[in-house]
Amino acid sequence: MNPVLIVILRWLHIIPAAIAIGGLIFMRFVLPPAIRPLGDEQQREVFLRARRIFKIMLHACILLLIISGVLNSIRFYPVYQQHRPLAIALWHTHMFLAVIVFVISFWSLAGKQPPASHRAAATVNVILLLVLVAVSSTLQWARQSPVQPTTQQGASR
């Protein structure tokens, strides 16, 4: 694959992840204390406006994450197979957590009004995203570690 394309794909995976995670943390932990002195109606209005813009941003981020993630997975899957079972297990965990995070995001941002438990959902999503990044960091470490002779034999079967 073209090196420029590889770098851009890597960049296009990190930037949306950064926007999604950092934006969610801002929305959950920075915005509520900032608007607390306002009246209830104004608080709700400001929160809903922020939520509306964040929804557009997050949907674009999810689209970019899926596109760059699929292309990265196609590129690295043979390497993951060389490092099975650890790399394959981590890759599946990464995918599984990503799907859960996307579903929670879509659910909590759907409609004009947030669901009653949107704060709890946002907190769960932040924790899952931190775990997801940890899994992806470990996956990269597993990908770069030397190939075990037994696993290489297993992969070549």
Partner 1 sequence: MPYWLYDIVYPLSRWLHIVCTTLIVGGTLFFELVLPIAIEDLKREQQLYVFARARLVFRWVVWIGVAGLLISGVVSLYRMWRPYQLQEFGYVSGWAFSHVGLGAIGMVLGLLLTMGRQPPENPVRWMRLNLVILLVVIFLGSATRHFQLSLAERPHSNRQINTDGWNPFEPSNRPSTQPTTAPATNPTTRPSP
Name which position in 25, 67, 88, 95 contacts partner 1 (CB under 8 A). Answer: 25
- Smallest distance, Å, CB 110 to partner 1? 19
Count interface residues toward partner 1 (CB under 8 A).
52
Interface with partner 1 includes 138 (CB under 8 A)?
Answer: yes
Which residues, at least 6 apart from 121, have a Cβ–Cβ distance to it below 8 Å? 104, 107, 108, 115
Question: How far from 37 is each of 31, 32, 43, 118, CA to CA, in Å?
Answer: 12, 10, 8, 21
| Region from 20-28, 80-88, 100-108, 110-118 binding partner 1, contact rule CB under 8 A | 20-28
Binding mask 72-111 for partner 1 (x = CB under 8 A): ----------------------------------------
Residue 137 as a binder of partner 1 (CB under 8 A): the answer is: yes
